[in-house]
Amino acid sequence: MMNRFRARAYQLLEFPSRVDRPSWLIELLLILLIIISVIAVCLETVPDVLKVHGPFLMRVDLWITVIFTIEYATRLWAAAEAYPELPAWKARLKWAISPMALIDLVAILPFWLAFVVPIDFRLLRLLRLLRIYKLARYSPALTALFAVIREEAGTLFAALIILAILLVFAASGAWLVEREVQPEAFGSIPSAMWWALVTLTTVGYGDVVPHTVIGRLFGGLITLLGVGMAALPAGIIATGLAQHLHERRNRLCDEFREVLQDGRLDLADGRRVEALRRELGISRTAVRSIYEEVQREQPPRQCRCPKCDHVFSPPR
């Protein structure tokens, strides 16, 4: 009986779906609590709010922490279901060291630790802000986005090196031409870097701008380089996303080819494809177009046996 209870808890917490109403409500509640908790921490830093509503915010925080602790304990307990082939404690350990579990832990640990060891109140508050990372669990597209960023890390890092080179170039140039007119803002290369970075990223605060004619000519060149600079990550991410999408589509294509080998798309096939579709985060209309593409594919060529002249379709 305990085991059935645990299986249900596992399903409720780890595989919420709109069809399973209770799991969906729990998911919504947890998302809401994360947002309330982060807003509460932010509001606590406003002196006027702290003075008036301080005790109330603290009670809110206490209750949310308690709920998150229960959530963590339940997930840890139910994690035994995740790897049925392992002993329960090993499965739980494996879950406990996963990134999402560590984020869950960091979201509650400081609160309880503060009872044991004295922790700086300010640090405690900031650690509670880390709860916002718990949101990452609830967006499947986020996983894809992170995968793209990780895959393109090398190219993004190369863009960063280009930025570093341009930054040194811009800051030293601006220092050369502006340091006498504006010793405060361009008096040294490190201080000129503030202007250089703000310009190269096209943020353009305008708190520091070149004043001399030659400074503006040089500044104009840097704004141009800034537009090119800002174009690099956009181009890299566009390419990475397109590539990622292409690969996910290919995986779905393969799945379709396999389930279509017997010539029919029965209910079991449909469920298998639907499961993969959700996992890959591909839209239903895209799946239809993939399905049509696979169907359209040339049937296997006819083969003529050179010995007996029998004509047949060779297996793939």
Q: Which stretch binds a copy of itself (CB under 8 A): 4-12, 53-61, 87-95, 137-145?
A: 137-145
- Picking from 198, 196, 201, the residue whose alpha carbon sits closest to that of residue 226 is 201
Using CB under 8 A as the binding rule, whether residue 184 contacts a copy of itself is answered as no
Using CB under 8 A as the binding rule, whether residue 47 contacts a copy of itself is answered as yes
Q: Smallest gap, in angstroms, from Cβ of residue 62 to a copy of itself?
A: 20
- Residue 123 amino acid letter: L
Kindly identify the residues of this chain, within the stretch 4-23, that bind a copy of itself according to CB under 8 A.
none
Using CB under 8 A as the binding rule, whether residue 262 contacts a copy of itself is answered as no
Distance CA 220, CA 51 (A): 49
Distance CA 260, CA 266 (A): 9
Q: Smallest gap, in angstroms, from Cβ of residue 11 to a copy of itself?
A: 23
Q: Which stretch binds a copy of itself (CB under 8 A): 90-98, 106-114, 171-179, 261-269?
A: 171-179
- Token reading at 122: 């300010």
Contacts with a copy of itself by CB under 8 A: the residue count is 109
Using CB under 8 A as the binding rule, whether residue 224 contacts a copy of itself is answered as yes
- Token reading at 76: 């840890």
Pick the binder of a copy of itself from 235, 270, 271, 275 (CB under 8 A): 235
Distance CA 297, CA 311 (A): 21
Q: Smallest gap, in angstroms, from Cβ of residue 289 to a copy of itself?
A: 5
3-state SS assignment for residue 20: coil
Pick the binder of a copy of itself from 139, 214, 261, 279 (CB under 8 A): 139
* C-alpha angle 205-207-208 in degrees, rounded to nearest 5: 105
Using the structure block, give the residue that is written with the tokens 């206490």. 62
What value does the CA radius of gyration of the chain take, rounded to a whole number of Å?
Answer: 29
Kindly identify the residues of this chain, within the stretch 194-223, that bind a copy of itself according to CB under 8 A.
194, 197-199, 201-207, 209, 216, 219-220, 223
Using CB under 8 A as the binding rule, whether residue 24 contacts a copy of itself is answered as no
Q: Smallest gap, in angstroms, from Cβ of residue 196 to a copy of itself?
A: 9
| Residue 73 or 221 having the CB closest to a copy of itself | 221
Q: Which stretch binds a copy of itself (CB under 8 A): 3-11, 96-104, 258-266, 293-301?
A: 293-301
Contacts of residue 268, Cβ cutoff 8 Å, sequence gap at least 6: none
Pick the binder of a copy of itself from 28, 58, 242, 275 (CB under 8 A): 242
Using the structure block, give the residue that is written with the tokens 């704004």. 223
Q: Smallest gap, in angstroms, from Cβ of residue 45 to a copy of itself?
A: 4
Kindly identify the residues of this chain, within the stretch 49-108, that bind a copy of itself according to CB under 8 A.
none
3-state SS assignment for residue 304: strand
Q: Smallest gap, in angstroms, from Cβ of residue 138 to a copy of itself?
A: 8
Q: Smallest gap, in angstroms, from Cβ of residue 80 to a copy of itself?
A: 30
- Residue 150, classified by CB atoms within 10 Å of its CB into exposed (0-12), middle (13-18) or buried (19+), is exposed
Distance CA 254, CA 258 (A): 6
Q: Is 282 left (phi over 0), alpha (psi -120 to 50) or beta?
A: beta
Pick the binder of a copy of itself from 237, 260, 265, 294 (CB under 8 A): 237
Using CB under 8 A as the binding rule, whether residue 151 contacts a copy of itself is answered as yes
Using CB under 8 A as the binding rule, whether residue 110 contacts a copy of itself is answered as no
Answer for the pair 74, 108: CB distance below 8 angstroms, yes or no. Answer: no
Using the structure block, give the residue that is written with the tokens 């990780």. 150
